[in-house]
Structure 1
């Protein structure tokens, strides 16, 4: 069965794996998913990821037996795209979380996009 929204599928897989306290998970590979995994690693939400032939292997991170990610929310959906300017990029959970923005300079974390003064499509919020 074809997946309509691959990014939402990836976020759901991560949410479910954290909920079941899995050590790692695999998601089908694509460039945008690899970029999201890179941002999650850079921001400290996952331990590591590896891009293989057909899958991206993600190693999840826990602190004192509890998941670091408590929430993932897909903002822009296929039926309703959400675009933000550089000054309108939201703070997630009062600065505790991050948002992922697809800009003309590639996928970026919200604070970095705001610092670079670029807006784009608001993909997801993670906290």
Structure 2
């Protein structure tokens, strides 16, 4: 199956699984998705993820969602930069999410990182998504 927006697809799968109070959700594996999941895990929005490989060579990520008192930890997750409209931010203009309670995930020349890491590294880049 071909996707025009793989990151948007992954975020939608996470949103849908949380609405149904699922413990895990799967998404096709890719390098960019893995790096975004690394940031989500580091920031404490998901429990973790693991890669599942199939005999035909394909692989998927199995994402363990995180809940606090039966309420999803991720209250809101949305795509900012889409294939039809790319959104870039310089280090001075990196958007703050909920006064620092959430994170913006950026793709920078130094890799995919959270907004506070990008500010500390003094790099800007493409704003992939916002998580609160």
Normalising by structure 2, report the TM-score.
Answer: 0.94
Identify the residue that residue 129 of structure 2 maps to in structure 1.
124
For residue 94 of structure 2, the aligned residue among 72, 89, 98 is: 89
Cα root mean square deviation, aligned: 0.8
CA distance in 2, matches of 1:110, 1:17: 25
Task: Find the counterpart in structure 1 of residue 76 from structure 2.
Answer: 71
Contact 1:97 1:126 in 2 (8 A): yes
Query: Which residue of the partner structure matches residue 19 of structure 2?
Result: 19
* 8 Å contact from structure 1 (residues 34, 51) kept in 2: no
**SS of the residue aligned with 2:48?**
strand
Does structure 2 retain, via aligned residues, the 8 Å contact 1:100–1:125?
Answer: yes
Which residue in the other structure is 1:50 paired with?
50
Measured in 1, the distance between the counterparts of 2:11 and 2:65 equals 13
CA drift of 1:52 comes to 2.4
1:2-59 Cα deviation digits (max 9, x unpaired): 2110000000000111111000011000000011111111110011101222100100
Runs of 4+ in structure 1 off by over 3 angstroms are none
Q: Which segments of 5 or more consecutive residues in structure 2 lack a partner in the other structure? A: 54-58
- The answer for unaligned runs of 5 or more in structure 1 is none
2: distance between equivalents of 1:93 and 1:73?
13
